[in-house]
Amino acid sequence: MDDLLKLVENSKEEIKSFSSTEKNPAEAFRIRFLGTKGLIKSLMGEMKNISAENRKQMGLVLNDLKLLAEKKHEELVMMNAKGQPLIDKALDLTLPGDTLPLGSRHPISIVRNRIVSIFQRLGFGVAEGPEIEDDWHNFTALNLPENHPARDMQDTFYVSQNPAWMLRTHTSNVQVREMEKGKLPIRIICPGRVYRNETISARAHCFFHQVEGLYIANNVSFADLKQTLYFFVNEMFGEKIKIRFRPSYFPFTEPSAEMDISCLICGGEGCNVCKHTGWVEILGCGMVHPNVLENCRIDSNQYSGFAFGMGIERITMLKYQIKDLRLFSENDLRFLKQFTSAV
Ligand code: PHE
C-alpha cells in the first residue's frame, strides 16, 4: 500500500512537470499516462494486491491521479492546436466558400421598373405622393364631387380617427398634386401602392399597385395618347401584340377608353384567361377632363392632356402567366425564387 502511494505521488509530480520535445507532446503524454499500456492503467492493475479495507481509499487516490492526467492532457492538446499553423486543422483556405443565398427582386418591382424605364425613354419623369390622402386630391379635384355615384367604383378605406383622410384608391392623387404645382408642361408617371375595400380573391386584393401617367401641354391629342400606349405595349409585350380601344367612362377623362391587348396565352384564339374573347383589358385612359384642369388652376383653353392608369399586378400576371394575384403578397419563397434570374 505504502509503495503504491509513493508511486502515485511520483507520478503526480511527473504529470505536473511533464514536458516533451516530441512533435506532438499531447500524444506522447497520452501514451505514457493514459494509454492502454500507460502508467495509470498499470497502477490500477495493482489494486488487486490491496487489502479490502484499504481498497476504497486507494481507489479514490488513483481516480484523482487519473483526473489530473486527463486535465493535463487537455491542456497539452489545446497548446498543440494553438502552436500549429491554422491551415493544418481549423481552416482550409483552399476549400470553396459557403454560398450565400442570393435574394431576388419581387416580380411586382421587376415589372414596375420595366414600365418606368419604358416611359422614361419617352421623356416621362417619375412622381410620387402620399398613400394617406384627403378627399380633395383623391376624389373631388378629379371631378368626383361628394355623392357622385362614380365614387362607388372605388370602395374606399377611411381612416377612423379622422374620416377626412382615406387610403388612396388610385395614384391619380399624385397627378393632382403635380398639376397644382403649376409648372407646365407636365409629363409624369406615378407608380405606387393603392387600396380598395375589395374581397380578396385570385383576381382582386385590398391593396395593389398602379402606374398612372399624365401628359399636359399645348395641343395634346388622343392620337398622342394612342401612340404613347402603342409604344408601351410593343416594348413591354413585343411587336406581335395587337391593341384595341373600347369607349368607357371615367369622371376625370373625356373621352375615356379602356385598352385591351390580344391574349398572350392563346394569341387571340380564345382561352380561359381571355374568357374566350381573344382580348384582355390592361388599362384605362382618356383626355383629361377640362373640369380637372380648372380644379388644378390650369387654363383648359390653353392646355390639354391625356392620362392613363394600369394595375401592375395585372401586367405582371400576363407577362409571367401567373394565375393567382394572392401569390404576390404571401411571401412564399417557392414562388419568389422563380424570379431570381429575371431583371
Ligand atoms: N384612376 C383610374 C383607376 O384607378 C385609372 C385611370 C387613370 C383611368 C387615368 C383613366 C385615366 O381606375
Comparing 155-164, 225-234, 244-253, which segment has the lowest mean pLDDT? 155-164
Q: Are 186 and 287 in contact (CB under 8 A)?
A: no
Closest CA to ligand 1's atom 7: 309
Using pLDDT thresholds of 50, 70 and 90, give the confidence band for residue 86: very low
Closest CA to ligand 1's atom 8: 284
Which residues contact residue 259 at a Cβ distance below 8 angstroms, ignoring those fewer than 6 apart? Answer: 229, 243, 244, 245, 246, 281, 282, 283, 284, 285, 308
Q: Are 263 and 273 in contact (CB under 8 A)?
A: yes
- Is 172 touching ligand 1 by the criterion CB < 6 Å? yes
Residue 245 reports pLDDT greater than 90 = yes
> Would you call 21 exposed, middle or buried from its count of C-beta atoms within 10 A (0-12, 13-18, 19+)?
exposed
Residues 113-146 have pLDDT tens digits of 999 999 999 999 999 999 999 999 999 999 998 8
Residue 112 identity (one-letter amino acid): R
Helix axes 222-237, 312-320, angle to 10 degrees: 40
Residues 184-228 have pLDDT tens digits of 999 999 999 999 999 999 989 999 999 999 999 999 999 999 999
CA dist., res. 178 & res. 227, Å (int): 23
Alpha carbon separation from 229 to 116, 124, 233, 234, 283 (Å, rounded)? 13, 13, 6, 9, 10
The pTM of this model reads 0.72
- Is 212 touching ligand 1 by the criterion CB < 6 Å? yes
- Is 285 touching ligand 1 by the criterion CB < 6 Å? yes
CA–centroid distance, residue 251 to ligand 1 (Å)? 9
Residue 150: count other Cβ atoms within 10 Å of its Cβ: 15
CA proximity to 233, closest of 195, 297, 279, 274: 279
Ligand 1 atom closest to residue 214's alpha carbon, by position in its atom list? 9
Residues 297-306 have pLDDT tens digits of 999 999 999 9
- Is 253 touching ligand 1 by the criterion CB < 6 Å? yes
- Is 284 touching ligand 1 by the criterion CB < 6 Å? yes
pLDDT of residue 102: 79
Of 170, 249, 315, the one to substitute when testing ligand 1's pocket (max ligand atoms within 8 A of C-beta) is 170
Of 139, 142, 143, 172, the one to substitute when testing ligand 1's pocket (max ligand atoms within 8 A of C-beta) is 172
Q: Which residue has the higher pLDDT, 192 or 25?
A: 192
Helix axes 52-83, 2-16, angle to 10 degrees: 10
CA dist., res. 281 & res. 315, Å (int): 10
Closest CA to ligand 1's atom 4: 170
b/e per residue 135-149 (b: at least 16 CB within 10 A): bebbbbbbbbeeeee
**Interval 87-109 mean pLDDT:** 82
Comparing 72-81, 216-225, 282-291, which segment has the lowest mean pLDDT? 72-81
